[in-house]
Amino acid sequence: MGTAIIPKWQITVTITRTLEYPIEDGEDKEDVRKWASSKEGKQFIQPDFIKHLNCYSYPRNADMEVEEVELKEYEVKSTDTDPRV
């Protein structure tokens, strides 16, 4: 029996998803940015990140992790008919 060195390619694939959350009353942009980049924030975001991803047996959704978080502020026009809103 002999030993052979087998060359391999290592390919890193990045998946980017944009998740949207409403801005809560009194939330400071910098505080949210720090939280979203923290370990606790990434653990909170993780389920939304993997939700509805259709993957084959490998890589499994559980193998994917949130690495970087970008925070962007924007506005959406609302057309709610309830006068209390």
User: Which token pair is 6?
Assistant: 């087998």
Cis peptide before 59 (omega within 30 of 0): yes
Q: Output the pLDDT for position 78.
A: 64
Is the backbone of residue 2 left (phi > 0), alpha (psi -120 to 50) or beta? beta
Is the predicted pLDDT of residue 40 greater than 90, yes or no? yes
Q: Output the pLDDT for position 4.
A: 74
The three-point CA angle 48-84-73 to 5° equals 40
Assign 33 to helix, strand or coil.
Answer: helix
User: Which token pair is 10?
Assistant: 């290592």
CB-side neighbour CA atoms (13 Å) of 55: 12
Percent of the chain with pLDDT over 90: 7
- Model confidence pTM above 0.75: no
pLDDT greater at residue 27 or residue 11: 27
Q: pLDDT (tens digit, 9 = 90+) per residue, 3-20?
A: 777 788 877 667 778 888
